[in-house]
Amino acid sequence: MEQLYQQLILDHAKHPAHRGAQEAYDVEVHHVNPTCGDEVTLRVRLDAGESGAPVIGELTWTGQGCSISQASASVMSQAVSGQPVETALALSADFRELMDSRGVLPEKFADDALADGLEDAVAFVGVARYPARIKCALLGWAAMKDAVAQAAATSGQEDRR
């Protein structure tokens, strides 16, 4: 159980990062885990990056749920804030892979650059040993992915206009 509740996860659950509801945002999404009632409401604003590609300018969230879901949303928000949308979505895919790992860190995560990108999210590998909890860990990431995709689609339309 200590592998599941690593200190880092407990710390994030107690002191979550980017928790709040920013004033300026492009999209707000509300995601729930219907099996346990956990929920996350997440706001995101995309800015134009230096290369012109959109970056996550600001991301905040509120929610209620178990320590895994809340800590994961916190870790996610740290990992993706300020990142290009493309990078955030790639991190999300990496995190998904981590959750599908059954608790054995996939080889690719030995790569420091990748582990650095995911930051504290690598600590969630223990969650993958508990199939019932994987959805908890994915909740915040799913909300981010959805919000960013919607925001990118909207800004894309604006660009065309």
Task: Write out the residues near another protein by the rule CB under 8 A.
Answer: 1, 4-5, 10, 14, 35-39, 64-69, 130, 133, 136
Judge whether 134 and 66 are in contact, CB under 8 Å: no
| Rounded distance between C-alpha atoms, residue 120 and residue 130, angstroms | 19
Closer residue to another protein, CB minimum distance, 42 or 136: 136
Q: Report the nearest approach of another protein to the CB of residue 136 (Å).
A: 7
Q: Report the nearest approach of another protein to the CB of residue 20 (Å).
A: 20
Contacts for 159 with CB less than 8 Å, ≥ 6 apart: none
Closer residue to another protein, CB minimum distance, 14 or 30: 14
Closer residue to another protein, CB minimum distance, 10 or 93: 10
Sheet strands (E) in the chain? 27-33, 38-48, 54-64
Q: Report the nearest approach of another protein to the CB of residue 82 (Å).
A: 29
Give residue 86's identity as a one-letter amino acid code: E
| Rounded distance between C-alpha atoms, residue 62 and residue 102, angstroms | 28
Closer residue to another protein, CB minimum distance, 27 or 134: 134
Q: Report the nearest approach of another protein to the CB of residue 75 (Å).
A: 17
Q: DSSP code of 23?
A: S
